Chain A
């Protein structure tokens, strides 16, 4: 299965979004949270993202979903062509769409496409 890492400025936001995505996509879906700095502050930690990445990497690729600012910049530093990709999507909607697709066992490009479709979802 394709793995997902949710990268947010806050540990709580990342953890709750990951719990929500797993709740909707299925508990076996490899979704990890990498929120905040290592000392528990607001921000981004490349070490936390790398650890999360390793924990969800089953060999089928990993999608990083950042919230904004330094999360995006740091996630982009970890991109590996065709293996680790950053999704340019709304954080919650993108995470859920990607998790549902990943849980269905589709390949990396399809997970990314599902996440990107979330950008066009209208709530009303």
Chain B
């Protein structure tokens, strides 16, 4: 996996978020402040422009630039949250990128996310999609499966994780103010996290 694959990852993520912008915003309208789709679409458009403007040479540089851009350009919580995932991944990822190296860097990104947001599995946040995806990658490394299959399993785990947030009661963010009324709605952050993982699977298959 070279820098081009990582650039393609963010391009595909931008495409999927643009496609699902209204769905993400509708999910956020139910339990948040109805700007998740718009914010993330705008942030990823800025990421694409930044990557095109000064094409990075290594996967780590792609991740660092994407993370910094999301932090600077999104005024809502998804900026620092996604930004810290990719920034930390960029710090941890070594070239050349192996599946094991990617899985370890991804895990460190999820840990940074959990630390920043003080969120854990079951809080009805993007952690509920990204932590299962991280676990799926670790299992794929253990079982020696190929990159393509590993990313497909991670995408599936993220999608299932996002759907699993529907019956949960939110304990973080604006949705937590709603208490039991947050039950019955998919978390928009988990939904967008599943799109990031789907984008990753799409660019390696």
Contact = CB atoms under 8 A, between A and B. Distances in A.
A37 B75 CA distance: 6
Given A76-B116, A77-B84, A77-B116, A70 B75 contact: yes
A10 to B, nearest CB: 11
Contacts, number: 42
Interface string A38-74: 0001111111000000000000000000000110011
The secondary-structure label for the interface of chain B is: helix
Given A46-B72, A47-B72, A74 B79 contact: yes
A73 to B, nearest CB: 4
Given A73-B81, A74-B80, A77-B80, A45 B75 contact: yes
B116 A73 contact: yes
A73 B74 CA distance: 12
A69 B77 contact: yes
A46 B71 contact: yes
Interface in A12-51: 36-37, 41-47
Nearest to B87: A77
A37 B35 CA distance: 14
B76 interface: yes
A43 B71 contact: no
A73 B75 contact: no
Contacts of B117: 73
Contact-residue size bin, chain B (C-beta under 8 Å from the other chain): 10 to 19
A41 B76 CA distance: 11
B76 A43 contact: yes
A69 B116 CA distance: 11
Given A76-B116, A77-B84, A70 B77 contact: yes
Contacts of A36: 75
Contacts of B174: 69
Nearest to B78: A70
A70 B174 CA distance: 10
Interface string B99-116: 000000000000000001
Contacts of A41: 75
Nearest to B71: A46
Interface string A77-89: 1000000000000
B112 to A, nearest CB: 10
A37 B84 CA distance: 19
Contacts of A77: 71, 80, 83-84, 116
Interface of A: 36-37, 41-47, 69-70, 73-74, 76-77
29 contacts: A37-B75, A41-B75, A43-B75, A44-B75, A44-B76, A44-B79, A44-B80, A45-B75, A46-B71, A46-B72, A46-B79, A46-B80, A47-B72, A69-B76, A69-B77, A69-B174, A70-B75, A70-B77, A70-B79, A70-B80, A73-B80, A73-B81, A74-B79, A74-B80, A76-B80, A76-B116, A77-B71, A77-B80, A77-B84
Interface of B: 71-72, 74-77, 79-81, 83-84, 116-117, 173-174
Q: Which 5 A-B pairs have the closest CB atoms?
A: A43-B75, A37-B75, A73-B80, A70-B77, A74-B80
